[in-house]
A = this chain, B = another copy of it.
């Protein structure tokens, strides 16, 4: 079969799945999700043996140790996947919520009802646990999902999907609800991106190249998550101890994440008081520091930061340090070099806190808290499908609500247009 027909058939299966899910009750969806968790645990051996094939192939291809680790499934990870599904089942169902019902002068009542989006295509890389997470979130929100994982995890992903599909079938739902594309050819993705009218939304999860390729070629709306070049600005009237804790947490707690700080901006008025202890703490933690000329006047041991460094997402224990003239200078820097992901101010000034909140245009803006907190669980949304840096539909952590849309509903008793 040619790739176009293959993809079209998969998408049509998913569409059937979406119809069946749209009518399913919360009870039915939750029961299926909990049974999925149980089935993954019961059939762990099967999953691990399929995962071994991927690992063997990946070793042959010479994948790095870190990537091999991401790819590996074991009992602990399968239990975590199952636990993730149980947590999704426990979240409130967003579908059917009715909001903003208001009576109009003509007597009709108008508001919005939250409904599933329909069919969501997810394009992702390496870690096989994403398969179960994403399927659980989409199913809970009433959406069918078309999964297109990375080729290096294809046996693991297929095995997980087989388990999930078996459970779906046993719960009277259409198996197209979780649809898997097991073609590695990139053309399959390109064909999916043309299926406007069948697929309603595309979410790419992975590197910048993947996201750009998807955005350039898709006729379907795309929700994306570009890199996180995040900042903490230490204002001159900050509590310096609090500032130190926040900056340390934002850089060091988990540097490989998109909400970790890449550049620390320090008001020149307190640079001399703040930086020496801060720099020592970073150095003790193994952070490589790059400083602007003013910073290097305070500590000449720092490397010289280049302008291009300010655009970089290091995802590593590396940090740019820049001394700024004040909040305006800091906000100009953030607007120019930042990626509108997560940015924080540490300050005791009400006026400056309000200005920063209003004027910094990022998916999450923090006053006196670590950028690392930009996360669905931390924000109380439950599990997230990613952090959107888009402005359309969803911005910041995307939970179940962001996997739905609304429609207007009108309750009338004979109203006409005059």
A contacts, CB < 8 Å to B: 22-23, 96, 102, 104, 106, 108, 110, 113, 115, 117-118, 196, 200-201, 215-216, 219, 221-223, 239, 242, 245-246, 249, 253-254, 353, 357-359, 361-370, 372-375, 378-380, 390-393, 395-397, 405-417
Contacts and interface: CB of A to CB of B under 8 A. Distances in A.
19 contacts: A22-B361, A23-B359, A102-B380, A115-B361, A118-B361, A201-B391, A215-B219, A216-B219, A239-B414, A245-B414, A364-B409, A368-B413, A370-B416, A372-B416, A373-B410, A373-B415, A375-B417, A392-B405, A393-B393
Contacts of A417: 249, 253-254, 370, 372-373, 375, 378
B221 A410 contact: no
Contact of A392 (B117, B245, B372, B374): B117
A366 B215 CA distance: 35
B414 A246 contact: yes
B409 A357 contact: yes
A146 to B, nearest CB: 16
Copies of this chain in the oligomer: 2
B407 A363 contact: yes
Contact of A414 (B253, B369, B397, B408): B369
The 4 A-B residue pairs whose C-beta atoms are closest, nearest first, are: A369-B412, A372-B417, A364-B408, A249-B416
A408 B397 contact: yes
A356 to B, nearest CB: 10
Nearest to A105: B380
Nearest to A360: B407
A407 B372 contact: no
A365 B409 CA distance: 5
Contacts of A96: 358
A368 to B, nearest CB: 4
Contacts of A22: 359, 361
A215 B217 CA distance: 11
B379 A104 contact: yes
A396 B408 contact: yes
A253 B410 contact: no
Nearest to A196: B215
Given A200-B391, A392-B221, A417-B378, A410 B372 contact: no
Given A219-B216, A417-B254, A410 B364 contact: yes
Contacts of A201: 391-392
A245 B417 CA distance: 11
A397 B408 CA distance: 9
Nearest to A416: B249
A412 B368 contact: yes
B392 A393 contact: yes
A375 B200 CA distance: 24
A301 B200 CA distance: 42
B407 A367 contact: no
A417 B361 CA distance: 22
B113 A408 contact: no
A300 B280 CA distance: 92
Residue of A96, A363, A414 ringed by the most chain B CB atoms within 10 A: A414
Nearest to A215: B219
Contacts of A219: 215-216
A409 B391 CA distance: 15
A391 B361 contact: no
A407 B396 contact: yes
Contacts of A357: 113, 409
A300 to B, nearest CB: 30
A416 B108 contact: no
Contact of A412 (B102, B113, B367): B367
A373 B118 contact: no
